[in-house]
């Protein structure tokens, strides 16, 4: 099933209206929400292995806005979802995406990326680098424009 741009915008607007900032917890963080939000975080590594994309493809990325809506690209499809922070852990929930047919490598990257984003990940931001870690997997992002 393909979504038109109009449908994606409509769904996003409804989701934005229904959600707010869901940051909770009292732990002291080494980052602020402003450090995380409104940046384009491009995926560079998964567990220390450089992310490889075929020629002409875009590196997967994540962007979180001030309303805690996440948008990005998985290596195959674009997505939008809710971003939640609880106890200094980020999870991406209620993810929807386009349904483009892609090469096997891009689909594998997409599946890995989406799986790990949907889990609770500890957040570490330092020197324009974001690391999301769930104990088993580390995703390393850098800020790009």
Q: Which of 84, 77, 68 is nearest to 117 (CA)?
A: 84
Per-residue pLDDT, 95: 92
Dist CA 111 CA 75 (whole Å):
9
Per-residue pLDDT, 55: 79
Per-residue pLDDT, 57: 81
Q: Tens of pLDDT along the chain (145 residues)?
A: 566 666 665 665 565 555 544 444 434 456 788 888 989 999 999 999 999 888 778 899 999 999 999 999 999 999 999 999 988 899 999 999 999 998 999 999 999 999 999 999 999 999 999 999 998 899 999 999 7
Residue 51 near residue 44 (C-beta atoms within 8 A): yes
Per-residue pLDDT, 30: 66
Residue in the block written with tokens 């940046």: 39
CA distances from 64 to 13, 59, 91, 137 (A): 15, 17, 11, 21
Dist CA 64 CA 81 (whole Å):
9
Per-residue pLDDT, 25: 40
Predicted TM-score of the model (pTM): 0.75
Dist CA 61 CA 91 (whole Å):
15
The CATH fold assigned to 5-144 is: Lipocalin (2.40.128)
Per-residue pLDDT, 40: 96
Dist CA 19 CA 69 (whole Å):
8
DSSP label of 24: B
Residues 6+ apart with CB under 8 A from 16: 67, 69
Mapped onto helix, strand or coil, the DSSP state of residue 17 is helix
């Amino acid at each position: 099933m393909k979504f038109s741009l109009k449908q994606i915008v409509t769904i996003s607007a409804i989701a934005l209206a229904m959600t707010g900032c869901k940051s909770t917890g009292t732990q002291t963080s080494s980052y602020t929400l402003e450090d995380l939000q409104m940046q384009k975080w491009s995926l560079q590594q998964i567990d220390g292995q450089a992310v490889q994309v075929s020629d002409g493809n875009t590196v997967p990325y994540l962007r979180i806005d001030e309303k805690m809506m996440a948008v990005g690209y998985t290596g195959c499809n674009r997505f939008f979802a809710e971003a939640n922070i609880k106890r200094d852990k980020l999870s991406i929930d209620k993810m929807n995406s386009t349904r483009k047919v892609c090469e096997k490598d891009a689909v594998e990257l997409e599946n890995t990326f989406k799986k790990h984003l949907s889990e609770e990940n500890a957040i570490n931001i330092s020197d324009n680098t974001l690391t999301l870690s769930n104990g088993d997997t580390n995703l390393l992002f850098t800020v790009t424009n």
